[in-house]
Structure 1
Amino acid sequence: MEKRLSRTEMLFSLGFIFMLVIAVGAFFYGVKIGSDQTEAKLVENTKHLSANKTSSVTAYQQQDLVSFYHTVFLPYREFQTSLFETIHKLSSQQLTDVSSALKELSGVAEQKYNEAEHASVPKSSPLLENAQLQLLKSLRMFSEAAQRGAGSAKDLSATDLMKALMKDAYYTQGVKFAVAGQLNYYDSMLKWSASVNPNIPDHYDVKAVLTIQQWKPLPLTVKNKLMADQLNARKELSPFYPQDLTARVDQFITSGQAANMKIKTVNAIVDLLISTEAVRSGDFSQSKAQLYAKELLPQLPFFFPEKE
């Protein structure tokens, strides 16, 4: 005969399930609260930085793009470099003290957060304002994810810890905010280029499917913005820049590979390049003279490296 649960056991089981649901809900609520607190703190702390700005100031000036690069985007990218280095060492089991390494990574995120938080971004350029907000939120989420990983390091193998970290809600939110902030920055560059050259559109709607024929005549700033769109849509956190992906797409087309493989859309090329890890940081610089000698670009360090 089956043993039926007593009333007490039934109540205990239901109570346990209820508490489990509450705990899971509280965790994800905590992630949202952490993100919202970061946003509220940023808005409050930067009110004085924009107080003297007037609406007559021209939006998306080159000096604003350069300032943003040095005060916000570069600190974020420096953290991202540390993130990828730590992940690589963790996955290849090169870390002797995983917990300490993850705590150090969390500290780097906080340090870069503090650097980028106090950067002055003009209110006349809302895309830059939002880019700053998104990148700050990503740094805060990554810091929390690293701390949580450090706490689990003693109980999990390196392989299991990697899987847990990649699935952690704080980590996935960090990726989401990071690629969104990057997209805002590249959209700002498109706004700038349109203000310099009236033949360049100040926006370009994302098409569900972008054909190679539609892609070819586009200005470089439009292409870069579209590649930032692609990375954002895929929630793809990458060591390369959107312009590196642009260069690899153009190389794939001009070399005849797309025609040989009968690929007709840019989306399919991007899928192939990312899945085969065929894009590297620096691909744009190597192709710039050949493919983009006459293209308009803002004077940003990753477009004009010192060795040039």
Structure 2
Amino acid sequence: MEKRLTRTEMLFSLGFLFMLVFAVGAFFYGVKIGSDKTEAKFIAQTKHLSDSSSGPVSAYQQQDLVSFYHTVFLPYREFQTVWTQTIFKLSTGQLSDPASALKELSNLAKQKYDEAEHASTPSTSPLLEQAQLDFLKGLKMFKEAAQRGASSAKDMTSAELVTLIQKDAYFLEGVKQAMVGQRNYYYAMVKWSSSVNPDIPAQYESPSVLGIQQWNKLPLTVKNKLMADQLKSRMQLVPFYPQDLTARVDGFIVSGEAGKMKMKTIDAVVDLLISTEAVRSGDFSSSKQQLYAKELLPQLPFFFPEQE
């Protein structure tokens, strides 16, 4: 004979379920609030830069791209490098004190946030303004994710801790914001190249299916922006830059491998290269003279490392 729940037990069960749903909802709302607060703070601090009676005119100068690289993009990339190295060591059991390592990551995120926050970005370059905000929001989320991981470290194995961090809502939001920031930075480079060479489109959105023949006709800055789009859509932290992926795609096509495998779209080529971990940081530099000797690029250190 089945035992039926009493009215009190039923009310208790419903109350518990309500509290559980409320707690989960409150957590994700907290993530959004944290991100929105970062945005609101930044907008308030930079409002004076964009106030103008005539309104800002959009313009992308090479010196602005260079300044952004050193003051915003590089601090973020330095943090990302340490993050990926730490998570790798954690996943391979090389850290004797995971909690301390994650606390150091959280402190580093705060340090890099402070560096990038004080960078001056011109209001005439809205994509750079937005990219700065995106990277700040990303660093804020990574800081929170590292703190949360440190708090859980003592009760978990290294493998469990890595899984926890990679599924953490703050970490996922951090990746999203960082990839959006990267995409906006590379989009700003397209705007710059169009101002230098009118034959280069100032705006290019990839069609739903981008064929290899279409890809081959595109200028390098547009290709790099499309690869930043690809990385954004995959929501992955990778050690290479969008231009490294561009170079591997072009090298794969020029070598005839794409034709041998009967690939017709860029998506298919990118899927193969990323899934097989065939892209490395530095692939662009090693292929630049062969593939891009006559291509227009801003004078940024990751395009011209030989000048550093």
Superposition RMSD in Å: 1.5
Task: Give me the whole-angstrom Cα distance separating, in 2, the residues matched to 1:144 and 1:58.
Answer: 34
What is residue 20 of structure 2 aligned with on the other side?
20
Instruction: Name the counterpart of 1:171.
Output: 171
Q: What displacement does 1:109 show?
A: 0.4
Identify the residue that residue 152 of structure 1 maps to in structure 2: 152
Question: For structure 1, which segment, 20-29 or 156-165, has the greater mean C-alpha deviation from structure 2 after superposition?
Answer: 156-165
Read off the aligned partner of 1:186 and give its amino acid letter. Y
Aligned partner letter, 1:128: L
State the distance in 2 between where 1:53 and 1:62 align: 26
| Structure 2 SS opposite 1:120 | coil
1:241 and 2:218 correspond: no
Are the counterparts in 1 of residues 56 and 123 from structure 2 also a CA contact under 8 Å? no
Aligned runs of 1:180-219 on 2, under 5 Å?
A: 180-219=180-219
Quote how far apart the aligned CAs of 1:236 are.
Answer: 2.3
Cα pair 1:55 1:124 within 8 Å, conserved: no
CA distance in 2, matches of 1:187, 1:102: 33
Aligned to 1:78: 78
Confirm or deny that 1:269 pairs with 2:269: yes
**Per-residue deviation at 1:54?**
7.4
Q: Which residue in 2 is equivalent to 1:123? A: 123
Structure 1 unmatched runs, 5+: none
Q: How does 1:12-161 map to 2 (within 5 A)?
A: 12-50=12-50, 55=55, 59-161=59-161
TM-score (norm 1): 0.97
- Whether the 8 Å contact between 1:53 and 1:122 is mirrored in structure 2 is no
Q: Which residue of structure 2 aligns with residue 220 of structure 1?
A: 220
Where does residue 285 of structure 1 map in the other structure?
A: 285
What is the CA-CA distance between 1:44 and the residue it aligns to?
Answer: 1.1
Partner in structure 2 of residue 299 of structure 1: 299
What residue identity is the alignment partner of 2:77?
Answer: R
CA distance in 1, matches of 2:52, 2:280: 42
Unaligned runs of 5+ in 2: none
For 1:109 and 1:115, the matched residues in 2 are separated by: 10
Conserved? CA contact 2:212–2:264, under 8 Å: yes
Residue 306 of structure 1 aligns to a residue in which SS?
A: helix
Preserved contact between residue 249 and residue 270 of structure 1 (Cα < 8 Å): yes
Deviation at 1:156, TM superposition (A): 1.3
Q: State whether residues 46 and 118 of structure 1, in contact with CA within 8 Å, keep that contact through their aligned partners in structure 2.
A: no
**How far apart are the structure 1 equivalents of 2:98 and 2:58?**
48
| Alpha-carbon separation, structure 2, partners of 1:208 and 1:52 | 39
Runs (4+) of structure 1 exceeding 3 A deviation are: 48-58
Q: Is the 8 A contact 2:58 2:126 kept in 1?
A: no
What's the TM-score, normalizing by structure 2?
Answer: 0.97
Q: CA-to-partner distance for each residue in 1:97-134, whole Å, 9 max, x for gaps? A: 00110011011001000000011111111100100011
**Aligned residue pairs, count:** 308
Corresponding position: 1:251 with 2:251: yes
- Rounded to whole Å, the distance in 1 between the matches of 2:210 and 2:186 is 18
Measured in 2, the distance between the counterparts of 1:288 and 1:196 equals 20
